[in-house]
Amino acid sequence: MTSEPAFPHLDDAALAALAPETLAVAAGRPERGPDSPVNPEIVLSSTFVGLGGVGEGSRGYARFSNPTWEPFEDAVGKLEGSPLPALLFSSGMGAVAAAMSLVPVGGVLVAPRHSYSGTLGLAQLKAERGELTLLEVDIDDTEAAVAALDGADALWVESPTNPMMEVADLPALVAAARTAGVLVIVDNTFSTPLGQKPLGVGADVVVHSATKYLAGHSDVLLGVAVTASEQLRGRLHQHRTLHGAIAGPVEAWLGLRGLRTLALRVERSQATAGELARRLEAHPAVVRVRYPGLPSDPGHERAAAQLTGFGSIVSIELDGAEAADAFVSRVALWLPATSLGGVESTIERRRRHAAEPLTVPEGLVRLSVGIENVEDLWEDLRQSLESGL
C-alpha cells in the first residue's frame, strides 16, 4: 500500500494566532489532501442522510446546519477572536433579531439613539408591544449611557454610529455593564473585526451585517453573530433554527469569497476616506465633516485609542436638505444609493428615509468610500460641490 503524501496544515490554534489579514485568507479552507479543492464546495441539499447517532450522520436538515456555512462561520469567529465559530444568518437583521431575542421578555434594553434604523425599528416595535423597555442614549456620552444601565438587562452598542459617526468608549461601557450584570451586544459592522474586536474587551455578542464589509461586493445579504459563550451561542442557534433566517449556500460561499480580500479593501478605502475627509473639511461648501480620523472630530481621541483604523464612512453636512439632494444628484462616479461597505463608493442623504432619527441633520450626506482611485473620487465630489456654489 502506498502512503499518501503528507500536507502540513495549521491547526485551529495556529490559525487563530495569525495576523487578521492572513486569517481572512487562510481560515475556512477545506482539509488539505491530494487533489483537494482550495475552496469549499457549495452543498445544495435541503436534507442529509443519517440515522442520528454519533458517526451515523447527525446533520439532519439544512435549516439546522449546512456544510457551506461552516467555513465562513469558522473564519469570522476567528477574526473576532472567538474560540467558537460565528453563526451565519440570511441578513444582518436576521443576526440583529437573534441577538435582540436575548433580552428577556419585559426587560430593559439600552441602545444608541443613532443605531442602524432597522435595529432601532425592531427595538421600538418590541417596545410598542410591551416586550421590552427601550432606553435610547447618546452612546458617546459615557456618563449618560452608564447611568442608563442601572436596572437594565442589555446594552446595544454601535461604534462609530450610523450615520453620525459618534465613537463610544467601548471598554468603559463594557466594564460598567459587567459590573451591573448587563449583557453587551455590539454591532461591529462599521469597524469590522480589523478595526476593533469587542469580544476582546468583554462584550458578550458581536453582530455584523456581513452584507457590508465582510462580503464587500454589494451582491449578497448576509449577517453573522459571534459569541465566546457556548450557552449564548446555543440560544442564538436555536433562534436561527426556529425563526428560519438561514443563509442560502450560494450566498454563504460568496460571503467567504468576499472575506478573502477584506483587509485589502478596508486598508484602501480607509486611507481614501481619510484623504477625502481632509479635503471635504477644507471645502467652503461643506458645513461640517464627521470622520473619527480627523483631529478636529469630537470622537478622534477615543477612536485613536480604541480602533486600529478610522473606517471608510465619512458623513458631511451641507447647508440643508435641498443643497444635499442637489449635491447627491450631480455625482456621476459615486453611486447614489443606500448601503455601504462595498468596493464601489455610495452616497446618500440619510434623512430621505422616513425611519431616520430626527436628530440626524437634514443636510447630512453619508459617504461610503470604496476602493476606486482617490483623485477620481475627489474630482466627482468637487465638481458636484462647486457646480452648486
As annotated, the active-site residues are 63, 116, 187, 212
d(CA 359, CA 180): 29
Complex with ligand PLP: residue 199 or 323, whichever CB lies closer: 199
Q: How far is the CB of 188 from ligand PLP (least distance, A)?
A: 8
User: Is the CB of residue 98 less than 8 Å from the CB of residue 341?
Assistant: no
Compute the least distance from the CB of residue 201 to ligand PLP, in Å: 19
CA 275 to chain centroid, in Å, comes to 23
| Grid coordinates of 5 | 503524501
Q: In angstroms, give the least distance from the CB of 291 to ligand PLP.
A: 17
- Look up residue 271 and give its three cell numbers: 486611507
Taking CB positions, which residue lies at the least distance from ligand PLP?
Answer: 92
Alpha carbon dihedral 100, 101, 104, 109, in 10-degree steps, equals 10
* Complex with ligand PLP: residue 73 or 187, whichever CB lies closer: 187
Q: Say if CB 116 and CB 136 are below 8 A apart.
A: no
Quote the least distance from Cβ 165 to ligand PLP, whole Å.
12
Closer CB to ligand PLP, residue 160 or residue 384? 160
Instruction: State the residues that interact with ligand PLP by CB under 6 A.
Output: 91-93, 96, 116, 118-119, 158, 162, 187, 189-190, 209, 211-212, 221, 223
Q: How far is the CB of 183 from ligand PLP (least distance, A)?
A: 18
Half-sphere exposure of 78 (CA within 13 A, CB side): 24
Select 23 or 95, whichever has its Cβ closest to ligand PLP: 95
Which CB sits closer to ligand PLP, 15 or 111? 111
Q: Concatenated DSSP letters for 119-169?
A: HHHHHHHHHHTTSEEEEEE-TT-HHHHHHHTTT-SEEEEESS-TTT-----
Nearest to residue 283, comparing CAs of 167, 382, 168?
Answer: 382
Other C-beta atoms closer than 10 Å to the C-beta of 26 total: 16
**Cα–Cα distance between 79 and 22 in angstroms, integer?**
10
